[in-house]
Structure formats: structure tokens, C-alpha cells
């Protein structure tokens, strides 16, 4: 299968159009002292949009992005974009990093040098990885699927083919969060013979049907917390899994609306204490938003929720994810399952309650997460003849 080097280079015309649309933004009103209670703060969005229009330097961000090695390859009829950084060490382990929503492949960028060249960052060269970071189908520079059915299982099939058929890795390690954790779980379920181990920041829901053991006190509390969270915070999920096309018209046409939809989640789901720029600069936030804007992929990214809902893959009675699994649970993430919840379905060999960080851990606490990933995979290393040619 053919792999083409790729350079991120947005046309000047697209950037000029973006600035013109930002200039013409028609902001809504809001009630007094609304803040973030009803959604994205009008005060903050005005500030962000003005920064985006007058000060945000996409070309500088583009240069940062292009410091990595980018490629595109056709995999089963769909072109996937991915980063591929070779490890600097005696026997780098191949590792695929899987992002979620509403971030992009760029969320994983802070991890890449820490994992590919640990010795340069105060670690041990023996912990080096060959790091592969694909963009989910329909996100940024990966092709938008033209047909329905891009389920988590389908994405896992594409990524397995990318790693084995395209890049030549017989076995590989996996890290993922959010959608990436779901895809990672499908990799462990359907392609366990290729998986060295799974490192996740989210737990896929276990089977709880007839014959399953009763919930522990911690699990029952977690289920209730999940129910309340979806009632209070889950509107985005309900819209995207039921009527994503209706939402797409607004988000694909208004950059301010797109920013509002995405940035609210970065604030709500991160360990920022309500002050989003404690964790993410405007440049970091707008890099993700601009990637969606210039590629016109927010609608295809949102459809991943529709396909998850229409083409579900639930765990069945007694079904388990066989590869060894490690979990890093961050205190400000959107859910906090107990270990026994994960042990229903996974072979949990490492469970770490992290001291800080949220849903976007690879961007919020890359050093902590990189060390946790290294520690989990260290006992799983052995000569495997795995280096791609």
C-alpha cells in the first residue's frame, strides 16, 4: 500500500475567507451574569473571535504542526492522515495514539517527542516508541466517509490495517481516550492477536445483563453519577447521535459558532477550575478549531456519534478484552469509574489515579501521561521483530 508524505498547507484564500466571516459575526445576546452557565460565555467568545481575526497566526501554528512527519495512505478505500515519528532507542515499540472529540490529532502532539525520544526528555532510551498518531476518519486531514457505518469497530479495522498492512507492524501498543479509548477497546476485542497492550483514560461500558454480578457500592454510585452527567451535560451527544446534519449547517458556516461548540467542551472537561486559559492558550484552542474549519470536517466528526449509535458494538455475556490493560484516571475527566467497573471487561494490570488533569490529558499533562504510558508498557517489552521497514 502506498504512503505519501504530507505537508499541512492551508490556502491563503481559505484564511482570508475565515477572517472575513469572523469580521461579520452576528453575536447573540445573553442574560445578565450568564457567564458559562447556559453555554459558551459571550464575553469570552467575543474576545476569542477578535483574537482569531486579528492576532492568531495560523502560519506559525502550521510550522509547529509540520515539525512532525506527516503522511497519508489509502486504507480500504479511505485516505487516512497520520503522524509517524520513529523512536530513538535500541528497540522502539510501535504505539498508536488515538484522539477523541472535539479535539484533533494535534491533541496528541505533546506526547510524541516524550515517547519517541525519552532519553532527550530525562527518561530511558529503552522506553522509546515508534509513535503513530492517526486522525480519526472524517477529522481534519483524514477523508470524510461518504457512506454511513463508520462505527468504532470499523475504525478499529482501518487502524489495524494501517498499522499492519501499510506500516508493517505485526504487533503494536495502543493508547486512547474518549472515542480513541472506544476504538482501542474494539482493537482489543477484534484484533487481540495484534495488540501488545491497551493503555486508556476511559472505560468502555461492560455487559450488565442477566447473570452478571451485582453492582458494588462504588459501581452503583458511578452509574448514578453518569446518569446525572448525561442529564446536565449530554446535550451535544444527543444531538450528534440523532440529528448531526441539522447541526452541521450552522457549524460549517459560522466559525464563531464552531468555536463556541468546541471551546465550551475544552473548558468544561479540563482541569482548569473554570478558567480555560489556565490549561489552554488561545493559540492552542484555535489550532483545533481552525483545523476543523479549514478542512470542513466538524460535520463528519460529529457523525461518528451517529454511527456509534446506529451501529453499536456492545460487550456480550462473558466477553472480555484480552490484551493487558492499563488505566490512567484523571480527576477532572468527565467520569470516574471504580477499578472493579473496568475489571468486568478488561485484564486490568495497572490502575493509576492521576494527581491532576482532565479529559484532554495528553495536552493538559503530557509529562505525567507519558511517564504513565512508559511505566505500563515497560514490562510488556520484549524482542518482537516489529520495526517497520
DSSP letter at 272 equals S
Which among 81, 84, 175, 359 is annotated as catalytic? 359
The predicted-structure confidence for 29-58, as pLDDT tens digits, reads as follows 999 999 999 999 999 999 999 999 999 999
Which among 130, 305, 307, 333 is annotated as catalytic? 305
Q: Is 305 a catalytic residue?
A: yes
Q: How far does Cα 291 stand from its chain's mean position?
A: 14
The predicted-structure confidence for 53-81, as pLDDT tens digits, reads as follows 999 999 999 999 999 999 999 999 999 99
Residue 71 in contact with residue 5, Cβ under 8 Å?
Answer: yes
Integer Cα distance of 166 and 373 in angstroms: 25
207 Rama sector, left if φ>0, alpha if ψ -120 to 50, beta otherwise: beta
Nearest to 89 by CA among 117, 115, 111: 117
The predicted pLDDT at position 384 comes to: 47
Domains present along the chain, CATH in parentheses: 3-206+215-380 (3.40.50.1820)
Residue the block writes with cell 454511527: 307
Query: 359-375: b or e for each residue (b if 16 or more CB lie within 10 Å)?
Result: bbbbbbbbebbbbbbbe
Torsion, Cα of 105, 111, 112, 118 (10° steps): -170
Query: In this structure, are strands 78-85 and 70-75 parallel, antiparallel, or unpaired?
Result: antiparallel
The predicted pLDDT at position 2 comes to: 85
Facing residues of 96 across strands? 132, 174
Residue 363 in contact with residue 97, Cβ under 8 Å?
Answer: no
Both ends of the chain: CA-CA distance in Å? 13
| C-alpha cell read off for 315 | 460487550
Integer Cα distance of 304 and 295 in angstroms: 16
Residue 266: helix, strand or coil by DSSP?
A: helix
Nearest to 140 by CA among 168, 116, 114, 107: 107
Residue 321: helix, strand or coil by DSSP?
A: strand
Taking 70 as the pLDDT cut, the residues of the chain under it are 1, 383-389
The predicted-structure confidence for 212-253, as pLDDT tens digits, reads as follows 999 999 999 999 999 999 999 999 999 999 999 999 999 999
Residue 245: helix, strand or coil by DSSP?
A: helix
Integer Cα distance of 254 and 258 in angstroms: 6
The predicted pLDDT at position 257 comes to: 98
| C-alpha cell read off for 78 | 479511505
| C-alpha cell read off for 209 | 445483563
Cβ within 8 Å of residue 37, ≥6 positions away: none
Question: What phi and psi, each to the nearest 5 degrees, are found at residue 351?
Answer: -140, 115
Which among 117, 127, 130, 178 is annotated as catalytic? 178
Sheet architecture: strand order including 70-75: 3-6, 70-75, 78-85, 129-134, 93-98, 172-176, 195-200, 321-329, 346-353
Integer Cα distance of 350 and 356 in angstroms: 18
Nearest to 103 by CA among 248, 357, 247, 301: 301
Q: Is 359 a catalytic residue?
A: yes
Amino acid at each position: 500500500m502506498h504512503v505519501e508524505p504530507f505537508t499541512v498547507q492551508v490556502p491563503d484564500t481559505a484564511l482570508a475567507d475565515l477572517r472575513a466571516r469572523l469580521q461579520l459575526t452576528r453575536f447573540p445576546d445573553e442574560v445578565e451574569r450568564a457567564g458559562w452557565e447556559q453555554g459558551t460565555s459571550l464575553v469570552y467568545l467575543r474576545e476569542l473571535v477578535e483574537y482569531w481575526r486579528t492576532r492568531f497566526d495560523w502560519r506559525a501554528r502550521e510550522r509547529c504542526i509540520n515539525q512532525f512527519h506527516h503522511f497519508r495512505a489509502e486504507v480500504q478505500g479511505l485516505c487516512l492522515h497520520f503522524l509517524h515519528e520513529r523512536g530513538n532507542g535500541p528497540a522502539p515499540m510501535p504505539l498508536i495514539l488515538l484522539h477523541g472529540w472535539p479535539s484533533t490529532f494535534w491533541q496528541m502532539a505533546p506526547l510524541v517527542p516524550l515517547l519517541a525520544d525519552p532519553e532527550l526528555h530525562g527518561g530511558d532510551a529503552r522506553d522509546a516508541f515508534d509513535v503513530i498518531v492517526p486522525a480519526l476518519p472524517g477529522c481534519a486531514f483524514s477523508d470524510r466517509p461518504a457512506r454511513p457505518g463508520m462505527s468504532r469497530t470499523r475504525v478499529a479495522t482501518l487502524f489495524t490495517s494501517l498499522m499492519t498492512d501499510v506500516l508493517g507492524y505485526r504487533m503494536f501498543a495502543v493508547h486512547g481516550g474518549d472515542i480513541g479509548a472506544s476504538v482501542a477497546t474494539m482493537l482489543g476485542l477484534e484484533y487481540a492477536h495484534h495488540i501488545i497492550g491497551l493503555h486508556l483514560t476511559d472505560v468502555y461500558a461492560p455487559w450488565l445483563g442477566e447473570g452478571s454480578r451485582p453492582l458494588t457500592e462504588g459501581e452503583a454510585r458511578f452509574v448514578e453519577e453518569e446518569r446525572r452527567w448525561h442529564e446536565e451535560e449530554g446535550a451535544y451527544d444527543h444531538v450528534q447521535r440523532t440529528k448531526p446534519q441539522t447541526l452541521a449547517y450552522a457549524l460549517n458556516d459560522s466559525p464563531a459558532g464552531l468555536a463556541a461548540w468546541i471551546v465550551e467542551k475544552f473548558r468544561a472537561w479540563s482541569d482548569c477550575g473554570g478558567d480555560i486559559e489556565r490549561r489552554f492558550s488561545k493559540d492552542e484552542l484555535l489550532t483545533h478549531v481552525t483545523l476543523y474549519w479549514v478542512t470542513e470536517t466538524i460535520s463528519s466528526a460529529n457523525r461518528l456519534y451517529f454511527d456509534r449509535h446506529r451501529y453499536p458494538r456492545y460487550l456480550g455475556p462473558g466477553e472480555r478484552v484480552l490484551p493487558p490493560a492499563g488505566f490512567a484516571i484523571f480527576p477532572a475527566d468527565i467520569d470516574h469509574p471504580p477499578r472493579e467497573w473496568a475489571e468486568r471487561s478488561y485484564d486490568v494490570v495497572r490502575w493509576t489515579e492521576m494527581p491532576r488533569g482532565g479529559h484532554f490529558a495528553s495536552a493538559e499533562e503530557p509529562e505525567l501521561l507519558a511517564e504513565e504510558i512508559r511505566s505500563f508498557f515497560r514490562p510488556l517489552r520484549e524482542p518482537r521483530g516489529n520495526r517497520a521497514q
